[in-house]
Structure 1
Amino acid sequence: MEECRKTLCTFSGLAMVKKGIKVNEKGIILVAVIKDVAKLAGVSVGTVSKYLNTPELLREDKRAAVEDAIQKLNYKPNLFARNLRVQDSKTIAVIAQEIRNPFHAALFNTIRKEAMKYNYSVVLYSLNDINGNFDTLFETLPIHYFSGVISCYFHDMEQSIDFAKRHSKVPMVIMTNSERYFDEYDSEKIVHADFTQGIQKVCEYLISLGNTRIAYIGCRTKDQLRDPKLKGFMLTMEKHRLEPHSIVRLEKEYTMQTGYESAEQILRSGQLPDAILSDTDVMSIGVLNCLRNHGIQVPDDIMLASFDNIEQAEYCNPRLTTLNVPIEAMSVKAVELLVAQMENRECKNTGNAFELELIIRETTKNR
């Protein structure tokens, strides 16, 4: 038995041994657990548990026996273990891609502040830390410890939906990048923005400015066949009967470094595109630096447009044309829906679809 705390017995060590409770040679027991209380009181573990949760339901003699055993053993209920069973931890698990990207940082920070308004705390899980494997996510702290879960893992929605289905008894809200998931999961538990339509809006704008040779950069995701942004780009190019200048999707994280390397790969093709469409702002900042280092002017030589509208997009030089994802508003809605589930309150899921707005800045211009 773990020796993290010791307590003196108020009666003999021999009596402890007879009851099956371990003591040391001085008659000192180690930290008592619920089984020790049950043995000393002569009742089942279930009876002790009932005493701890609903003592009024016990007969007087059993309640007295349990009270006496708890006092003699100086038993302290393990609140953490109890929370694992009854889901009253007042803690929300947030599953995201990672925290370094300002997009995800804003998402997590908004969820954290909103949860605090309802007296819930938040634990963030970064799937990058475990190579995107949901199955190992809750090995240390079981999922049933949490009062609820918000999954905002946009890069592999199929896995997010499957995870939610396998844990259907856990209050959960999923933030998605397409309304098509309404057919696969309860629409009352989904907050979404259509990333396919969003990237189409950006691509249409680039084409309207006279750009016909457009390069696309992103990162490879596990949901390759259903990547909503790449799909939107290809649909728009096909609509206008245009061929992409190039498509670069490295098997790396969404970082400025990845954007820089992606731009270098485009430049090595020997023919400059009219424009580059990046599927995240953080990569676009890397693209800007790469083009500047090669003496290429944005937007005069190459236009650049992006997706997310993180704070840095407005303050880089030149300022970035991008698509605004209202991640703060989506996060507030996700918390609202989850709290309603956790507290068994009705909350109609109205306004769960969020529009994506094109923000035109200095990296694009009329030619």
Structure 2
Amino acid sequence: MEQHNIKLTTFNCKSVKRSINYVKQLCKFYDIIALQETWLLPNEISYLGNISSDYSFTGTSAVDTSSGMLKGRPYGGVALLWRSNLFQSVSVLQCSNPRVCAVKIVSNDRPFIVVCVYMPTDCTDNLPEFTDCLSAVSAIVDECEVESVYILGDFNAHPAGVILGLVIVGSTDAIFREPGETKGPNSLITGDLLIIVAQVITSCQMVYEEKYVRGLNIPPLQAVGWEGVFGFSVLSALLVVFYWTPAPPHFGHNARGTVEDAVDGLVQIGNNPVLLVAILGTIVSIAFFNFAGISVTKEMSATTRMVLDSVRTLVIWMVSLAVRWQVFHWPHLLGFAVLIYGMAEYNALVPRCRRAPAPAPAPDSAAADDDHEEA
């Protein structure tokens, strides 16, 4: 089969019947299309075949027709469309969750999975349903054992408030220079890039923690203990290496001109009881911090853990102001306000105005209506 760059897209169509013309336009540019909120009844899934004769399809309906009577408009539903003549083989993967549909595709002798999901809105009440969706996706991936998995869909997550708040806080430090600051813009950019790299590494760590702690049901305290053993072993070995590794002046200020001087560090700790108490306090603090973090990851999710962890920046800023290690700048308040609002929005703590439901008829009036009809 000829090599081909596969193009994928996702679209929340809010009724595929109403937006069918737009979906047909997507078929001109994309090979695989994931649709959410198709609003199709179980007996209407075949309607997806009207979109394009060049595409095959699969889909699910979220509408429950078991009662025989439908109230209100249809809702939910997901679907996948793929170009029929492009792939060697395509098999539909069975899934009982109406928010998930998936196919296994073989292209150029390489299999991969495409999953379409429509996640519930990000609020605490929907956590069980949210977890069910993740479990369904995880079961599909584990059963097929392929190298590549593409998950498309509407994830109903809105972390923009948290990200915007952190950007405002970080930009303020770059704009307002401290008195006597000698570091140039290159140093600031280098520092920001190192922080971004550190965040990427931390994100990978959180994802793997969630996979193993939840998937293998590992107790949080045991996970923290093994992380501590691994970290202590690796850093102890690196301290020996860094003790002999020369470093430029801006990477270290010890007399030997190396990256680290563990011997000098131990001497300083022995000569300063305050430093010893501070280090012991840090050890205890980090131990509880990691235990609490992994507990949140196991019971909720790694995303929730990182959103809550962003509040730590606010605490650090307040302590820095209290001990006069940092100068107050008003944009910090704006940034932290957006940060807190984003966290509250993510956890569905922001009150919303909702239309009150129509009052149910009183039993007496309903009985009177029945007597009137019999008469």
TM-score by length of 1: 0.24
TM-score by length of 2: 0.24
Of Structure 1 and Structure 2, the greater helix share is in: 2
